[in-house]
Structure 1
Amino acid sequence: MDYKAEFISLFTQHVSRPGSEKLLAWLENTDFFTAPASTRYHCACEGGLVRHSISVFHTMVEQHFQEGEDNLESFAICGLLHDLCKAQFYKVGSRNVKNEETGQWEKVPFYQVEDSFPYGHGEKSVFLIERFMRLKTSEAMAIRWHMGGFDDSVRGGSFAMSNAFRMYPLAVKLHLADLESTYLRERGTSDVPNR
């Protein structure tokens, strides 16, 4: 099964909230299923965003799901949609790179950011999801703060992030799953060298 088919299968199996069908239809009209997850760090390849989203969902379930305490629909929403902000976010450009074998300069494609809706990272994902379906407070907090200390708005510390992590275990679980997927499970999944 390819990543798009797996995503759709997981989403339709686990998410039944009103508006979820419209959200999935909207995703089909974006580059969500072909976009990279980053410009060079992890899953910086075609389809990397959907691949990363699936990885985060599986990591959350495998590492953090506790029967009777956690909700699988919330895990699916958070894992599969936490980086929705990256749909319509990247574009392919080209740059000159010297071919080491021939000594000639060649144009090669690369991903660059073109943010037409600069609303932040996690908060943008929350905003986009809620255009179609309502999130529980714990889901909104988890998605908003999934970047943890990597979020530009918390440089130097953030009591809001700390409070969200303390009050909503789902937020901690999503953050940890995102870190594990990005830095451990997805190593070597870029079309560009790791720097």
Structure 2
Amino acid sequence: MDYKAEFIRIFSENVSRPGAQQLLDWLATTDFYTAPASTRFHGACECGLVMHSINVYNVLMSRFYTEEDNKESFTLVSLLHDLCKANYYKSGFRNVKNDATGQWEKVPSYSVQDAFPFGHGEKSVYLIERFIRLKPVEAIAIRWHMGGFDDAVRGGSYAISNAFDEYPLAVKLHLADLEATYLVEKGTSSVNRR
């Protein structure tokens, strides 16, 4: 599948908000379409980030979208929730011991090289809003899509509980992200997990 073409098709069909084309133009200047989604786990492969974004969109739409929902909002939050990972990873190699031979081997790897350390969800919101004005429900959903895995939550924040209580889209995006990550993309890493 040509993930870039699929992403652009879905985005263009469903998002008509001012700034949408400028955001797509900016994405083309980043590694968004070729970057991994993680360093060693789901989507830790070339094009993993765009693949993951499409998977989250597909899960969100198939599981949670109803005719009463706003398709543009669902598209924006699912396709752009991990925009913070554009220009975030660096490819390289690391040494891993081969269990069968006992020899050390170089394997491809990714590492984090965050030039703009602004957090996860909030960084995605910031980057999107440089081009497209988000509705509060969209910003909240993207900000809290990591759920209990977010550093702010582990630090004792009640904001996520309030966000999930007030904005069902935030819960739906979190669940779609989990399903895409742990069920749909299981085994999509080309990088050795050791």
**Code of the aligned partner of 1:64:** F
Instruction: Tell whether the 8 Å contact from 1:92 to 1:110 is kept in structure 2 after alignment.
Output: yes
* Distance change in 2, residues 1:6/1:189 (3 Å): same
Give the corresponding residue for 1:5. Answer: 5
- Structure 1 residues not aligned, in runs of 5+: none
Give the corresponding residue for 1:189. Answer: 188
The answer to which of 27-36 and 105-114 deviates more is 105-114
Secondary structure in structure 2 of the residue aligned to 1:78: helix
Instruction: Tell whether the 8 Å contact from 2:124 to 2:142 is kept in structure 1 after alignment.
Output: yes
Distance 1:104 1:121 in 2: 37
Distance 1:156 1:115 in 2: 22
Cα RMSD after superposing both structures: 1.4
**Does the alignment pair 1:49 with 2:20?**
no
Instruction: Tell whether the 8 Å contact from 2:141 to 2:171 is kept in structure 1 after alignment.
Output: yes
Distance 1:194 1:61 in 2: 30
Instruction: Tell whether the 8 Å contact from 1:138 to 1:170 is kept in structure 2 after alignment.
Output: yes
Q: CA deviation at 1:106?
A: 3.1
Identity of aligned residues (%): 70
TM-score normalised over the length of structure 2: 0.95
Q: CA deviation at 1:102?
A: 5.5
**Code of the aligned partner of 2:31:** D
Distance 1:194 1:104 in 2: 17
Q: CA deviation at 1:100?
A: 5.0
- Structure 2 residues not aligned, in runs of 5+: none
**Does the alignment pair 1:24 with 2:24?**
yes
- The C-alpha deviation readout for 1:75-122, integer Å capped at 9, x for no partner, is 000000000000000001222233456554333220000111000000
Q: CA deviation at 1:182?
A: 0.5
**Code of the aligned partner of 2:19:** G
Distance 2:179 2:193 in 1: 17
Secondary structure in structure 2 of the residue aligned to 1:95: strand
- Matched ranges for 1:1-195 at <5 A: 1-67=1-67, 69-99=68-98, 103-194=102-193
TM-score normalised over the length of structure 1: 0.95
Distance 1:137 1:14 in 2: 19
Distance 2:144 2:47 in 1: 24
Q: CA deviation at 1:41?
A: 1.5
